[in-house]
Structure 1
Amino acid sequence: MVKARFAAALAAVLVAVSPATPALAANPYERGPAPTTSSIEASRGSFAIAQTTVARSAVSGFGGGTIYYPTSTASGTFGAVAISPGFTASQSSVSWLGPRLASQGFVVITIDTLSTLDQPASRGTQLLAALDYLTRTSSVRTRIDATRLGVMGHSMGGGGSLSASVSRPSLQAAIPLTPWHGTKSWTSDRVPTLIIGAENDTVAPVSSHSEPFYTSLPAAADKAYLELNNASHSAPTSTNVTVAKYSISWLKRFIDDDTRYDQFLCPNPSGSTIQEWRSTCPYS
């Protein structure tokens, strides 16, 4: 009896002094509250934001732009996204995405290109130059985690995001919006990519642009293809809830590694605004 009591007492002491089994660490890149359909469809997220203009004369490699960023640093650093306009367009054509994405917990730069006539490959190089500026010399550089970066773009800017991904495979996410590019095969692209096409696009028809781009991406890659129902080439150039909600989800999932957003991407979503969705979910 004495031995039994001694053994029990010793066991209790060992439990008291032994370190507890460590819990799984929370994702250090999660930013903002748990998402809901309402939160990703809202015009603004949970972060208060500010913006600053980047003069063309103050930078090299791209044509200047506008930075949108969360004002609070309490959550730590943020991932960053550069967004390019399309052929003959300025940053104003994609500017609606700046505050929408930034308020969800990203630093965003919408850029002007060196020439409105720049081709996709040049726009890709300029997207990367904008990211380098953001992370190295911009006034918000200390707010950014330079290992968590992504690119987006409309039309030739969307084609530019594909070019940027091949040039810099360390990117965490790419979202070509009704993309146009003369190159159709992207077998060397390893960046998680969401391609958004438009059913009625006559400038970059999905049959000769978005669909072959998606199909050519490696089968083992994290990728998705969203075709907007009854939409035109210019659909992503003004406020579009479908473009926003799935762009936010993709950027959160792959730049922030935030699996709370898987629910919006996998299984493949459907609805009246979606003509088609293909993907390789579940994602890695």
Structure 2
Amino acid sequence: MQQHLPSGDISPRRHRMSKSRSRTVKLGVAAAAATAALVTALMPGAQAADNPYERGPAPSTSSIEASRGPYATSQTSVSSLSVRGFGGGTIYYPTSTSDGTFGAVAISPGFTAYQSSIAWLGPRLASQGFVVFTIDTNTTADQPASRGDQLLAALDYLTGSSSVRSRIDSSRLGVMGHSMGGGGTLEAAKDRPSLQAAIPLTGWNTDKTWPEVKTPTLVIGADGDTVAPVATHSEPFYTSLPSSLDKAYLELRGATHFTPNSSNTTIAKYSISWLKRFIDNDTRYEQFLCPLPSAGLTIAEYRGNCPHTS
């Protein structure tokens, strides 16, 4: 006798076919997803898709404290006779071009000083993945406002005319400076808000308030500074910066006004982290800046706003 199935029921054969089709579709979707993932993984730069400006391997405390980073570097001299607006200098840069372009930093010396006084920062920062320009100023007596203009002229030369301009991303630039060059660093940041990072080193300036600055700024002072005491220079510089700005104040322990003129691991460690975090937008370096570093053998005080917003 022929058996009739209730209305709406599916025959055993049709049920098996439906299950088979469902498995086939699921397997096809899974295969497509796996293929897409494989293609994405094999695409150049896929790992850095979230941040195309990341350069170099993941950092560690030892890597940012090392005297040299992962990049081999070279350097080229720039004669004062071949430039306008500043006194020439030396460009340090990563020799590899396989990672694409790099951010760039111009660095000014202090009063009566030459680029040799801040030369140690050139290869140290360049080996971490930056193009670095240590400059001479027009005269050794140039004041902070002039040094700020010269830092900007040096960046314009770097990105527009220098022999390494093709290695630089002109949208990712920063400034540093010692003493009057530190005061010039603040002047440059005030005059060019598009800068991504500023680091005045034991800075000196008769202007103590900087509410106009929109550039993430790390102010580095020294507890034993008698030329630009922190109470009348670095501290007011820092506190006058907008509260909404990504900013930090690092006071070196057992240091003098001239500590930035010699190789210094603490200056390098936090400068590298600041430049990476804000010029390269590399949040892998946030760990060295937030939570705020504690006082210790080389740090008298560290202040700042965490977490960073930009």
What is the DSSP-based 3-state SS (H/G/I as helix, E as strand, rest coil) of the residue aligned with 2:170? strand
Aligned position for 1:243: 267
Aligned pairs for 1:1-284 (under 5 A) are: 1=15, 2-17=17-32, 25-270=49-294, 271-284=296-309
1:57 Cα offset (Å): 0.3
Report the residue type matching 2:172 in the other structure: R
Residues 32-41 or 225-234, more deviating: 32-41
Report the residue type matching 1:8 in the other structure: R
Report the residue type matching 1:83 in the other structure: I
Cα distance in 2 between the residues matched to 1:69 and 1:13: 49
Aligned position for 2:4: none
Cα distance in 2 between the residues matched to 1:268 and 1:15: 45
Cα distance in 1 between the residues matched to 2:54 and 2:29: 36
Cα distance in 1 between the residues matched to 2:237 and 2:286: 23
Cα distance in 2 between the residues matched to 1:10 and 1:138: 58
Cα distance in 2 between the residues matched to 1:105 and 1:283: 22
1:38 Cα offset (Å): 1.1
What is the DSSP-based 3-state SS (H/G/I as helix, E as strand, rest coil) of the residue aligned with 1:276? strand
User: Residue deviations 1:170-202, cap 9 Å, x none?
Assistant: 101000000011111111111000000000111
Unaligned runs of 5+ in 1: none
Cα distance in 2 between the residues matched to 1:76 and 1:17: 31
Cα distance in 2 between the residues matched to 1:52 and 1:6: 67
1:15 Cα offset (Å): 4.2
- TM (normalized to structure 1)? 0.96
- TM (normalized to structure 2)? 0.88
1:281 Cα offset (Å): 1.4
4+ residue segments displaced more than 6 Å:
21-24
Cα distance in 2 between the residues matched to 1:252 and 1:47: 14
1:17 Cα offset (Å): 4.1
1:32 Cα offset (Å): 1.2
1:213 Cα offset (Å): 0.6
Residues 260-269 or 139-148, more deviating: 260-269
Higher alpha-carbon Rg: 2
Cα distance in 2 between the residues matched to 1:166 and 1:142: 27
What is the DSSP-based 3-state SS (H/G/I as helix, E as strand, rest coil) of the residue aligned with 2:297? coil
What is the DSSP-based 3-state SS (H/G/I as helix, E as strand, rest coil) of the residue aligned with 2:237? helix
1:230 Cα offset (Å): 1.8
Identity of aligned residues (%): 68
1:20 Cα offset (Å): 5.0
Cα distance in 1 between the residues matched to 2:291 and 2:26: 48
Cα distance in 2 between the residues matched to 1:237 and 1:146: 28
Residues 261-270 or 102-111, more deviating: 261-270
User: Residue deviations 1:213-232, cap 9 Å, x none?
Assistant: 10011111110000001211
Unaligned runs of 5+ in 2: 1-14, 41-45
Aligned length: 284
